[in-house]
């Protein structure tokens, strides 16, 4: 009997190890196939490594995949799904699942808001600058329906002024499930943006609305007082100038969308913070000490990127840093951390246009 058990154990152990290795490899393959198929369904560029779904859906950025969270010894690998708002909601909004780890979500400094919906209040914790306006936004029927539907399957949901984010326990290996996640995030983001149009401008931004009126007229942009925002075209490029809630208070946010052009995989970020989940690949150097110290540059073809970012473009990018935090990809230029004063915003718009002209986009 002992010899039989030893033989059985000798067979079981290698078979178990083989099964675990096979299962893990098959799951990784299933994840890659699901990512590629969903990216194809959405009309996005395929991630040849099969580790993410990413790209632009209209004015929204989408990401589903791995992301490094934290710094130093607390840094860990997580799986996120993220959909950007088309425009920041400008309410200092932070909504999270109550059981979500504190390490993954820094508690907001704004006032805690009770929504008046007992079931939803048990489910989520809400913070914002103006409880009345936050309650009006989150109490919208479409918003509550989209949020409940998303959290029923993926409860670890975070909503901010900028995005809808879902924290996943593991990568999704089913195309149908992954598509459902993307659809759920998009539905919630769209519901929030639609409901935001019915919420008045935050009290702290009332003065900005009055000051922006004259600037919008001088630039030929349309003023949307409820956000507030200025939208329109400058030099045949679409421009969206909005506000957003930073740690130190409200600031302005400029997005300039480039003309149609051939994509080169360009990513430009200041040398100020980790690249995050949008920027991958080797940093491209330009033998320009001031520029190389200031920016992280990535792209598919280093030679093409160096030709694209010639002396005029590099000088324009360095100039934009005097206005705020600048980021560029193939789709748009994003300039944030801008002051609300019209004069400073006019300068920032001019610097953004100068960069676009230098790129020829």
Please report whether residue 10 resides in a domain: no
C-alpha 124/C-alpha 142 separation (Å) is 16
Looking at every residue in the chain, the average pLDDT score rounds to 87
Which residue range forms the structural domain that includes residue 85? Answer: 52-196
Query: Does residue 8 sit within a domain?
Result: no
Choose one of 196, 214, 232: the last residue of a domain.
Answer: 196
Predicted local confidence at residue 10, as pLDDT: 63
Largest CA distance in the chain: 93
Q: Is residue 16 part of a domain?
A: no
The total of structural domains in the chain comes to 2
pLDDT confidence tier of residue 355, bands split at 50, 70 and 90:
very high
Residue 40 pLDDT: 93
- 213 three-state secondary structure: helix
Q: Is residue 87 part of a domain?
A: yes
Tokens of 299: 């792209």
CB-based burial, 250-284: b 16+ in 10 Å, e otherwise:
bbbbbbbbbeeeeebebbbbeeeeeeebbbeeeeb
225 and 352 share one domain: yes
Q: Answer with the one of 136, 171, 196 that is the final residue of a domain.
A: 196
> The tokens 């996120």 sit on which residue?
80
Residues 158 and 303 in one domain: no
Q: Please say which residue of 196, 228, 261 terminates a domain.
A: 196
Choose between 111 and 313: higher pLDDT. Answer: 313
CA atoms of 79 and 132, how far apart (whole Å) = 33
Could you give the CA distance from residue 231 to residue 220 in angstroms, rounded to a whole number? 9
Rounded average pLDDT over 39-63 = 88
The verdict on 132 and 175 lying in the same domain is yes
Answer yes or no: is pLDDT of 97 > 50.
Answer: yes
Span 241-269, average pLDDT? 92
* DSSP-assigned states of every residue in 40-93: HHHTPPP-TTSSEEEEEETTEEEEEEEEEESSGGG-EEEEEEEEE-SS---S--
Within this chain, do residues 219 and 147 fall inside the same structural domain, yes or no? no
280 and 302 inside one domain: yes
Amino acid 104: pLDDT: 47
Per-residue confidence band for 102, with pLDDT thresholds at 50, 70 and 90: very low
- The more confident residue out of 225 and 101 is 225
* Residues 160, 221 share a domain: no
> Could you tell me if residue 180 is inside a domain?
yes
Query: String of b and e for 148-173 (b: at least 16 CB within 10 Å)?
Result: eebbeebebbbbbbbbbbbbbeebbb
Cβ pair 338, 344 in contact under 8 A: yes
- Find the DSSP H helices in 277-321: 289-294, 302-308, 311-320
Q: What is the rounded average pLDDT of the residues 291-312?
A: 95
Higher pLDDT, residue 8 or 137: 137
CATH number (domain holding residue 226): 3.30.1460
Please report the DSSP string for 23-41 in residue order: HHHHHHHHHHHHHHHHHHH
Query: Which tops the pLDDT comparison, 248 or 349?
Result: 349
| pLDDT surpassing 90 at residue 108 | no
Shared domain for 212 and 303, answered yes or no, is yes
Q: Is the pLDDT of residue 325 over 50?
A: yes
Please report whether residue 39 resides in a domain. no
pLDDT at 252 (0 to 100)? 95
208 and 336 part of one domain: yes
What is the model's pLDDT at position 161? 94
Q: How many percent of the chain have pLDDT more than 90?
A: 68
The confidence band for 5, taking pLDDT boundaries of 50, 70 and 90, is: low
Residues 8-13, mean pLDDT to the nearest whole number = 61
pLDDT band at 103 (very low <50, low <70, confident <90, very high): very low
Q: Is the pLDDT of residue 354 over 60?
A: yes
**Confidence band of 3 (pLDDT split at 50, 70, 90):** low
Q: What letters, b where the CB count within 10 A reaches 16 and e where it falls short, cover 188-226?
A: bbbbbeebbeebebbeebeebbeebeebbeebebebbbe
Report the residue count for the chain: 361
pLDDT tens digits for 160-204?
A: 999 999 999 999 999 999 999 999 999 999 999 999 999 999 888
Specify the pLDDT at position 51.
Answer: 82
Residue 8 has pLDDT above 80, yes or no: no
């Amino acid at each position: 009997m002992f010899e039989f058990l030893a033989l059985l154990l000798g067979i079981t152990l290698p078979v178990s190890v083989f099964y675990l290795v096979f299962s893990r490899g098959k799951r990784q393959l299933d994840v890659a196939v699901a990512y590629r198929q969903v990216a194809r369904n959405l009309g996005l560029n395929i991630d040849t490594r099969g580790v993410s779904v990413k790209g632009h859906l209209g004015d929204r950025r989408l990401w589903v995949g791995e992301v490094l969270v934290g710094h130093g010894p607390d840094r860990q690998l997580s799986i996120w799904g993220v959909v950007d708002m088309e425009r920041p909601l400008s309410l200092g909004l932070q909504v999270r699942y109550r059981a979500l780890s504190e390490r993954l979500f820094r508690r907001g400094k704004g006032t805690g808001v009770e929504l008046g919906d007992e079931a939803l209040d048990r489910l989520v914790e809400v913070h914002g600058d103006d409880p009345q306006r936050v309650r009006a936004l989150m109490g919208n029927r479409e918003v509550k329906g989209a949020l409940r539907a998303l959290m029923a399957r993926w409860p670890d949901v975070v909503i901010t002024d900028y995005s809808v984010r879902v924290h996943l326990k593991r990568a999704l290996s089913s195309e149908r499930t992954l598509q459902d996640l993307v659809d759920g995030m998009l539905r919630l983001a769209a519901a929030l943006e639609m409901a935001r149009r019915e919420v008045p401008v935050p009290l702290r931004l009332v003065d900005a609305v009055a000051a922006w009126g004259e600037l919008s007229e001088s630039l030929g942009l349309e003023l949307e007082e409820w956000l507030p925002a200025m939208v329109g075209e400058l030099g045949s490029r679409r421009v969206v100038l909005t506000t957003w809630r930073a740690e130190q208070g409200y600031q302005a946010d400029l997005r300039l969308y480039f003309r149609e052009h051939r994509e080169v995989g360009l990513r430009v970020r200041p040398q100020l913070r980790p690249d995050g989940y949008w920027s991958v690949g080797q940093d491209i150097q330009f033998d320009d000490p001031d520029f190389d110290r200031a920016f992280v540059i990535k792209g598919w073809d280093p030679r093409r990127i160096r030709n694209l970012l010639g002396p005029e473009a590099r000088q324009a990018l360095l100039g934009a840093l005097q206005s705020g935090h600048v980021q560029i990809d193939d789709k748009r230029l994003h300039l944030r951390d801008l002051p609300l004063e019209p004069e400073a915003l006019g300068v920032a718009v001019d610097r953004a246009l100068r960069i676009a002209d230098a790129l020829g986009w």
